[in-house]
Amino acid sequence: MPTPFIYLDNDHLIEQDLTRPATTTGEDEAATGLSGLTGRLSATDGGATIHASLSVSLSERSATAGRYYGVLQGADLRTQLLTYVGSWVWEVVGDGTNVLTSARRRVLATRDPG
């Protein structure tokens, strides 16, 4: 699952498991077949993307129902997040109407190989 860090020059996976209440039982079930989902990096909780290159369309993983993913490119992270090193940004997943989740991610210059 996702790391709490974003490393410049390294591609960053945005991945989110989405659920909804089952119509018959009300218990959570995988939210399958959603469309129009995007993942983005924002300076604020639930906010707009920092830059258009830090937004990606999400697709459902075929092997895991309700798990959606997309990848942000490392070169774009370096270009757009260099001034955010050491700071927190928000990884936002949403469709603009029904789905909105946010998670804090710390921006680091390099990945620790250990």
DSSP, res 1:
-
Cα 96–Cα 37–Cα 54 angle in degrees, nearest 5:
90
* Token pair of 20 as six digits: 């909804």
Asked whether 100 and 50 are in contact (CB, 8 A), the reply is: no
Model confidence pLDDT, tens digit, residues 24-41: 999 999 999 999 999 999
Let me know if 8 is exposed, middle or buried by CB neighbors in 10 A (0-12, 13-18, 19+). buried
- pLDDT recorded at residue 1: 53
What pLDDT sits at residue 114? 62
Give the DSSP H or E segment for 39.
strand 38-42
pLDDT, tens digit, for every residue of 56-92?
999 999 999 999 999 999 999 999 999 999 999 999 9
What domains, with CATH codes, occur in the chain? Answer: 5-21+28-108 (2.60.40)
pLDDT of residue 71: 98
What pLDDT is stored for residue 2 in this prediction?
A: 63
Averaged pLDDT of the chain: 93
As a whole number of angstroms, the distance between CA 48 and CA 15 comes to 18
- The reported pLDDT for the residue numbered 99 is 87
- What secondary structure does DSSP assign to 47-62, as a single string? --BSSGGGEEE-EE-T
Q: Measured between alpha carbons, how far is 8 from 93 in angstroms, rounded to an integer?
A: 20
